[in-house]
């Protein structure tokens, strides 16, 4: 153990390092220790803590045994700190200040847990538009969306819930199907071309899904612009640049778009909730899962491509 000078208790052990290695130090005993040091004895500390002098005395004996050195000089007139006691008090006060800061942070955050949900761009957009169906101000948790075409690592707790197009393949993950998802070509409403169709697509190096790769897999299609993200692809379609492939639950909800062809059967897919086996029993995670299922079930026809905009 290294020694330092210049602290209270000259040439005494570095108590911060010492206590970090000890597992038998009770933080509650340190709080009692501060009260005894401030009050100068057991009676004053007991009054502050709402305890008895005998209990406070036993706690201080236990703390001294854990530390392995005397912390007080005990006299009839009260308790006086030893050099080791003064060194410990300095560090205990720092710990108490840190704990108070943490408590303030937790209080400011409302002590609410966070349920992180990863989803692709269009699913995240759908959930955001229907957020009131997933969360209410009275819920003891918050939701953090992570929109990404890449699959975040649920097994290693990057997120609690993943919205994916296939079931989990790992044994420690659980899956629950929420909907059948259909895809179709879309164009800007009222902007049908007089000549050959022009298309827009996700660039091959950024195509992370089958639907994103579909246009590039058909070389006969005339691609006039590429995007690196689904949101930009949607902007290009909306601007009338060309036809692009979208999930029906995204394209059919957009009043600026219309279908440019039939459903693409080969892209028909499922949507799954994937969650870690341990997390799915958490009440907050369970509640979010149930609400996602209820929301997507209520819009099953939309997801399945059976509700084009303007049709009943």
CATH number at residue 46: 1.10.10.10
Cβ–Cβ < 8 Å for 201, 244 = yes
Asked if 30 and 93 sit in the same domain, the reply is yes
Asked if 144 and 283 sit in the same domain, the reply is yes
CATH number at residue 258: 3.40.190
Is the pTM for the entire model greater than 0.85? Answer: no
Q: What is the pLDDT along the chain (312 residues), one digit of tens a residue?
A: 333 333 333 334 444 444 444 456 778 889 899 999 999 999 999 998 888 999 999 999 999 988 888 999 999 889 999 999 999 998 888 887 777 666 666 665 566 789 999 999 999 999 999 999 999 999 999 999 999 888 888 988 889 999 999 998 877 899 999 999 999 999 999 887 656 799 999 999 999 899 999 999 999 999 999 999 999 999 999 999 999 999 999 999 999 999 999 999 999 999 999 999 989 889 999 999 999 999 999 999 999 999 876 554
**Neighbouring-strand partners of residue 52:** none
The whole domain housing 151 covers 113-176+270-298
Any residues with CB less than 8 A from the CB of 42 and at least 6 apart, and which? 36, 53, 54, 56, 57, 60, 79
């Amino acid at each position: 153990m290294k020694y330092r000078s210049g602290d209270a208790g000259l040439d005494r052990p570095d108590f911060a390092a010492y206590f970090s290695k000890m597992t038998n130090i009770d933080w509650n005993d340190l709080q009692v220790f501060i009260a005894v040091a401030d009050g100068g004895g057991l009676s004053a500390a007991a009054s502050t803590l709402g305890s008895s002098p005998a209990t406070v005395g036993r706690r201080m004996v236990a703390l001294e045994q854990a530390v392995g050195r005397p912390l007080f000089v005990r006299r009839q007139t009260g308790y006086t700190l030893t050099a080791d006691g003064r060194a410990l008090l300095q560090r205990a006060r720092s710990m108490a200040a840190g704990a108070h800061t943490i408590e303030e942070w937790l209080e400011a955050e409302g002590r609410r847990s966070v349920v992180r949900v990863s989803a692709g761009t269009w699913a995240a957009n759908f959930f955001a538009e229907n957020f009131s169906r997933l969360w209410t101000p009275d819920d003891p948790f918050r939701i953090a969306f992570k929109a990404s075409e890449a699959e975040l690592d649920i097994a290693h707790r990057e997120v609690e819930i993943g919205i994916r197009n296939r079931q989990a393949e790992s044994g420690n993950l659980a899956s629950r199907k929420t909907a059948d998802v259909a895809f179709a070509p879309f164009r800007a409403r009222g902007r049908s071309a007089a000549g050959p169709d022009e298309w827009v697509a996700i660039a091959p190096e950024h195509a992370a899904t089958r639907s994103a790769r579909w246009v590039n897999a058909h070389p006969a299609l005339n691609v006039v612009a590429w995007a690196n993200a689904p949101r930009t692809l949607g902007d290009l379609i909306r601007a009338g640049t060309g036809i692009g492939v979208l999930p029906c639950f995204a394209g059919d909800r957009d009043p600026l778009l219309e279908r440019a062809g039939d459903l693409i059967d080969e892209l028909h897919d499922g949507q799954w909730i994937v969650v870690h086996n341990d997390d799915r029993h958490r009440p907050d995670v369970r509640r979010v899962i149930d609400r996602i299922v209820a929301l997507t079930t209520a819009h099953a026809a939309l997801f399945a491509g059976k509700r084009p905009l303007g049709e009943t």
